[in-house]
Amino acid sequence: MKLSLIRSACGSLRIYPARQGSRVSGWSRRCPPVGPANNRLILRTASATSSGGTNPKLAVNFGKRSQKDDGFECDRSLREVVQTTKEAMVALQRRNPAIQPLLAIIQAGEDDSLLEINKKMAGMIGLNITHICLAKDSSEDEIVEEVLKLNEDPRVHGVYLHLPPASLTSRVLNTLKPEKDIDGISDLNMGRLVRGDLSKGFVPPLASAVLDLLEKRDAALERKTVLLVGGEGTRGLALQCLIERSGMVVLKSQLNSNSLQRQVCLDVCVMQADAVVLLRAGNMDIPPSWIRPGAAVIHCEPTLETDEHDIEMSSQSGLGYLTAAYRTQNVVRSCSQWLQEQQYRPWHLRSLKLQPLTPVPSDIEISRAQTPKPVDQLAEEIGLLPEELEAYGRNKAKVRLSLLDRLHTQPDGKYVLVAGITPTPLGEGKSTVTIGLVQAMSAHLKLNSFACLRQPSQGPTFGVKGGAAGGGYAQVIPMEEFNLHLTGDIHAITAANNLVAAAIDARMLHEATQSDKALFNRLVPSVNGVRRFSPIQISRLQRLGVNKTDPASLTPQEVSTFVRLDLEPSKITWQRVVDTNDRFLRKITVGQASTEKGQIRETGFDIAVASEIMAILALADSLEDMKNRLARMVVGTSRSGQPVTAEDLGVSGALAVLMKDAIKPTLMQTLEGTPVFVHAGPFANIAHGNSSVLADKLALKLVGQDGFVVTEAGFGADIGMEKFFNIKCRASGLQPNVVVLVATVRALKMHGGGPNVSAGTPLPREYIDENLSLVEGGCRSNLRKQIQIAHLFGVPVVVALNVFKTDTQAEIDLVCELAKECGASDAVPCHHWAQGGRGSLELAQAVNEAASRPSNFQFLYNIKMPIVEKIRTIAQKVYGADDIELSPEAKAKIDYYNQQGYGSLPICMAKTHLSLSHMPDKKGAPTGFVLPIRDVRASIGAGFIYPLVGTMSTMPGLPTRPCFYDIDLDPVTEEITGLF
């Protein structure tokens, strides 16, 4: 490797003959500057006499080129560099046929000689070049602006700053990304050169060219002596380090031109030197008699002027072409490094240490006691690129979906679903199990693992349930950021949902108070005397069968059909939303102001996470897919019985704009520093109750083929898990490897016949004292049934027993024994709440073992089956019902959906989560019941039909004593208290 460094000047190289006394012939060359523009490389020839001749002086000979001596060496070097770079290009494009390396030159002034040389060399190599010509007196801000644009342009692989010395400020140099600094002039790349670390940096092209010529002339550079004159500062120090690293001896002199001829010591040094490098030497010349025969002199002479003759010489410059060749070589290398960075990166995860306390403190105290890693550090540890991260403060960041394109060839990791037995008021702890499992895998077993969790609604956070960040020593941190606002996704959903609601009422008002012509004139306004349809209006016309684009060509009937949605007020299914538990918004009346002209109707509010837009966010697999789903949302029915969509309202494009950032998953971390994606949080009754498809897909790429992605399904396995398989897996195309089924001794006792429990009252003794018969009853009923449901889909089950301090060892052993007897691959106790990841090591090992076995995943039903049969299949095989009973309204809705072509959508059952049946008080595994279907509705944008079993509330209410009584803020420290 040839190592040399010239920071802010070009050099002139003169080669002296090996035989003393002969006349020196030479050539003139001019190279494009490295660093400052207009530095000239002047190769001077000396007028030498016979020994002891008169006082000779160095002369400039621009007109002659020595083809016989140095020109041959330059041409040979050029051919070799070009050939090597061409071979690298061929290898690069063989691996990536679409790639085309690009060099960008930022130039100040009108000197095009450099551009011509680089264009010719780029043509020889086969890379592209772009030229940005700025005014000679461009400001620093203008230059920085251009550099920033090139930094962010993925097509550009190298940037060369062809600027005056005064323009190459520290700010300009350090704005340029080091990986695109193919001339090695930024401070970071300069430091790499001085340190000898060239794994990422670049050797300056001119330095490579000069050393190449020296090597061609004298291959044995080791132990040669080089004199650096005027080499003070960083430039001289770096050059000295590199020359010494090449095996040469460096002598230094800081004498200026006025004192040179008065210093006898310099004479001695020059005579000892095999090469002399003059840095900042001005017009200083060295008498030929001082120079050893065969020595080389490199003269760096900065100048701010150019003339036409110099430009002409530059275009003929052999060294200029060689420098350009090395520059293109660096561009190809930069492109290769960029492509390498695009590949999958192994993890280098640094886990955070836990020091669990006894007794276990509150969740927020534990969260606050741990200092999370900066999110950009976490991102780097798990292989994310800086440009794939959008930071929201220090602790969380959005991850761009471009990651899926970058890692599209990377095999997915293993896919684990955490589900639970039928939930009880006592809580089962699916979130804590999920987090404890990934902490055990990543921090203790050193297996790459990612948790994918739903974003919690603020309604329950301030209501009765509290947060959803896990608990104890198995949490997502900071838990207050997790539970409050996060990155604003739910607020974006609220805004988008309510924009649709506003559009519905406004459209109904305008249609009721205007003629067809007036509506048309306002919907398609004349701008500068011309009417044009917007793209979304053309889409509506096409759906109506009107294939016209000229507004003037529509017939009166076509105008009427186009402008009137004719919504039936009683059949509007879209409601407004707010992310607060507010029971008094369940039914409201709108349009009562006189300005609404009598357009009064009853409607209501849902909680924000019940919006269909939330379900769409969770099921979309790209921005385009989300936009199409938003357009398909049915908001009501016209008086003629036709569905009216968001696209008919003209609002779907605006919805996509509101949701464009919400579609990106949010990266956070656990207490032990392992990665978590938090994204989406749809209801688990009227929706499917799972985190997003995109979060899972991104995580599966990041963990690598041997890693694990652990995601959670809402409610019990009969609801969340069934919807995960039949809805989410159909949408994503992903197949799970293992189901972790969470159970607790207390919940199993309730399913085994234990007494009811009310929030806020003391637990009955049955849940505190040992009671093996109740535990056995719960295992042989509900636990067995939930394991059987998982086996319907062909997925192995590991039972995770979430241990509480009231559990006895006999109860724990009995659950694990009976779970395996009921068909679980394994059953293990988990102590993550008190111990963190170390308390779930046994579970992590069991999951790893189960995932190594083949999975025979299958869907429960064929999507083409009739709607009624799909409902019946779920009721009988999952819930254990004898049959279903459809109300007249449900039958009519099913007929309508079939007519509209919705019959092939999957089913999302909306029923109570407190029982396998439709009766909340029936615990265990009820049998002998008929499942009543009261109504059937559809979320066409989300892509499922949801039958209603009983009455489903989509707006929770606040209890007598909500959680907000305990939540407070210290105005001095800004610390939050009372969250759990």
Active-site residue, from 574, 833, 929, 944: 833
> What is the distance between the alpha carbons of residues 778 and 752, in angstroms, rounded to a whole number?
4
Active-site residue, from 290, 338, 804, 980: 804
CA distances from 462 to 139, 485, 490, 917, 958 (A): 54, 12, 15, 30, 8
Active-site residue, from 216, 245, 345, 465: 465
> What is the distance between the alpha carbons of residues 401 and 390, in angstroms, rounded to a whole number?
11
Q: Does residue 833 have an active-site annotation? A: yes
Alpha helices, DSSP H, located in 660-725: 693-702, 722-723
Per residue, the 3-state secondary structure of 307-319, as one string, reads: CHHHHHHHHHCHH
* Nearest CA-CA partner of 801 in 751, 857, 733, 740: 740
DSSP string, 910-953: B--SSSSSS-TT--S---S-EEEE-EEEEETTTTEEEEE-S---
Active-site residue, from 430, 632, 785, 870: 430
* Nearest CA-CA partner of 179 in 193, 195, 196, 159: 159
Asked if 798 and 440 touch (Cβ cutoff 8 Å), the reply is no
Asked if 508 and 567 touch (Cβ cutoff 8 Å), the reply is yes
Beta bridge partners of 450: 709
Asked if 851 and 738 touch (Cβ cutoff 8 Å), the reply is yes
Q: Tell me how many degrees the CA angle 194-198-200 measures, rounded to the nearest 5.
A: 120
Our measurement of the distance from residue 138's CA atom to the centroid of its chain's CA atoms, rounded to an integer in Å, reads 36
Q: Is the peptide bond before 359 cis (omega within 30 degrees of 0)?
A: yes
**Taking the alpha carbons of 443, 445, 446, 450 in that order, is the dihedral positive or negative?**
negative
Active-site residue, from 605, 715, 793, 929: 715
Q: Does residue 454 have an active-site annotation? A: yes
Our measurement of the distance from residue 164's CA atom to the centroid of its chain's CA atoms, rounded to an integer in Å, reads 38
Beta bridge partners of 798: 740, 826
- Structure tokens that stand for 203 in this block: 């050797």
> What is the distance between the alpha carbons of residues 181 and 769, in angstroms, rounded to a whole number?
70
Q: Is the peptide bond before 288 cis (omega within 30 degrees of 0)?
A: no
Asked if 480 and 705 touch (Cβ cutoff 8 Å), the reply is no
Q: Does residue 430 have an active-site annotation? A: yes
Active-site residue, from 323, 328, 422, 432: 432
DSSP-derived secondary structure letter, 598: T
Active-site residue, from 30, 454, 576, 701: 454
Asked if 317 and 209 touch (Cβ cutoff 8 Å), the reply is no
Q: Does residue 684 have an active-site annotation? A: yes
| Residues sharing a CB contact under 8 Å with residue 898, sequence separation 6 or more, in sequence order | 866, 867
Q: Does residue 432 have an active-site annotation? A: yes
Asked if 752 and 421 touch (Cβ cutoff 8 Å), the reply is no
**Taking the alpha carbons of 241, 246, 247, 251 in that order, is the dihedral positive or negative?**
negative
Beta bridge partners of 251: 227
Report the amino acid identity of residue 617: L
Active-site residue, from 397, 684, 850, 938: 684
Give CA torsion, residues 614, 703, 719, 689, to 10 deg.
-10
Beta bridge partners of 418: 712, 740
> What is the distance between the alpha carbons of residues 573 and 584, in angstroms, rounded to a whole number?
19
Asked if 482 and 668 touch (Cβ cutoff 8 Å), the reply is yes
Beta bridge partners of 948: 910, 935
Query: Mapping DSSP to helix (H, G, I), strand (E, B) and coil, where does residue 633 land?
Result: coil
- Structure tokens that stand for 867 in this block: 């709607």
Beta bridge partners of 637: 643
> What is the distance between the alpha carbons of residues 269 and 56, in angstroms, rounded to a whole number?
19
Active site residues: 430, 432, 454, 465, 684, 715, 804, 833
